[in-house]
Structure 1
Amino acid sequence: MTTAYIVDTGVFVRCGGPDNEKFQRLRRAVRQAGVILLVPQRVYEELGGDPTAEDYPSADIPYQAGFDEGWTVVAPALDYTNPKVSTVMDEARRFIANATDRNEDIIEKADTALIGLAAQLLDTGQADHIVLLTTDKPAGKAAETLLAQRGYGDQIEYRYASVGYLESITASEFR
């Protein structure tokens, strides 16, 4: 079974910078387990990794160590021509808006990109199982609900990355 680990911006922010113990624990756990954390391009932009990004321009990314060391990777571009990807992203925006009582137009594109990436990896067979690590409960619930509706219910797992979770994370979380 091929498991893909998709990570949201909030996980890195909650970990703090590379000198923070939570960041070091995540780094150790991922490296010991021999897995790679995937981030959609939108998440990479939110983290400040793309100085040309219109929404989040920055070249000063405090989380660059993960990318430089290879345990965090920017995922392949989303294929918006794939109806499973584009439809689940639209539905995720509506789901999150309803869950948070906000207008759909202000839902972060990175939140829907997480779910779109999960759908794409499952649909193309690049992964048999997805673990979504996020601090965004509505996005996690949207992923579980919407992907289950497409027959991927037993292939998606949402893990809420609380402070306690990150303070105690080990390689066993990734095996």
Structure 2
Amino acid sequence: MSQAPTDSRALRNALGRFATGVAIVTAIDPDGQPIGLTVNSFSAVSLDPALVLWCLDNGSHSLEAFRRASHHAINILALDQEELSTRFATWPVDRFAGLAWQAGAGGAPVFPGCCARFEVANESAVAGGDHTIFIGRVENFSEDASKAPLLFHAGRYAKLASAD
């Protein structure tokens, strides 16, 4: 049954049928403090040049800090990092308290144990309805092909089905 996009809850539910990976995007704010949040709105844009994007709600308290950051890191979470995802999706808490991380390009925090990490220069921020679309140029990346990704589908965490 087709619906008009005026019912935001129904639209959100339908969008949730698309399984996504889970990432934590990080940066350093203008005061030199680490910031970060959980997202599932990450995508490749181009291979040449290497560009990726992610989206942030315009009502986010960290929007301006991400706009002003020279770099950000996209940490693609592994299946065993659900707790880290929940930590960075919760507000208000000190998300970095007691957490191990290292500085990537531009100081953006990168986490150990991820499936993949992308360190990107903040190229542009484009208005997209009630969100801002951040486009970044990949400067460094790494992957751990032995790790299964953490997925999100229909409002809950999920994992890939076994191929066995």
**TM-score category (smaller protein):** under 0.3
- TM-score of the two chains, using structure 1 as the length reference: 0.27
By relative contact order (CA 8 Å, sep 6+), the higher-ranking structure is 1
- TM-score of the two chains, using structure 2 as the length reference: 0.28
